[in-house]
Each structure stands twice: as C-alpha cells, then as structure tokens.
Amino acid sequence: MLNRFDDLFGEADAAFSGTYKSQLNDLMGLSKSEIEEVTPNGLTDMSIYNKLIEVVKQASKDNISQADLITNIKSLGEIAIKIAEKVPALAALL
C-alpha cells in the first residue's frame, strides 16, 4: 500500500517541479469566482477545470512541448481555453 502512495507522491512532485510548474500553480490558484467569470450563465463547470489541471499537470510531468500542451488544452473545448486564459503564462501560449 505504501508503494502506491510513494508513486502518487512521486508523480505529483514531478508535475509540480516540471516544465509548467508555474502555470500549474497559477491555474490551481484560481478562485471559484474567477472560474465562474468564464463559464456560461455563471455556472461553474468544475469537471472541465479539473481536466484542464490534469492536462497541465501531465504536460509538466512529461515535459511535453508547448505545441502539444496547446493542442491538449484546445481539445478540452472553449470553456477550458477561457479558464486557461485566466493564467497569463497560459494565455500567452493560446
């Protein structure tokens, strides 16, 4: 059981010290109201936000290119792009 947790902590550490660590930290630091600003009719779609976090986390951990990160963010749809644009370093890529 401990090995599984060690693996999870290792993956998290890799993501938070990887290529996009700053963007990931800024993205995770968005408030609920900041996310609601870009969701239709004021509804928060936390599912898309969580998927976006996972995409950036994976990109950071795997050290993928900016082009691949952009493609992965865009594949999540317009709401994910609008949320990502709340992070200046991600907005510059999009």
Domain ranges of the chain: 2-93
CA distance 23 to 9: 19
Q: What is the pLDDT of residue 27?
A: 93
If pLDDT is split at 50, 70 and 90, which confidence band does 42 have?
low
If pLDDT is split at 50, 70 and 90, which confidence band does 73 have?
very high
CA distance 80 to 50: 10
User: Which of 31-35, 37-41, 54-58, 59-63 tops mean pLDDT?
Assistant: 54-58
pLDDT, tens digit, 9 for 90 and up, residues 52-71: 999 999 998 888 898 999 99
Q: What is the pLDDT of residue 8?
A: 47
Nearest to 87 by CA among 43, 41, 55, 40: 55
Q: What is the pLDDT of residue 18?
A: 66
DSSP 40: G
DSSP string, 33-62: HHHHTTSGGG---HHHHHHHHHHHHHHHHH
The percentage of the chain sitting over the pLDDT mark of 90, rounded to a whole number, equals 43
CA distance 30 to 10: 24
HSE of 89 in the Cβ direction (CA atoms, 13 Å)?
12
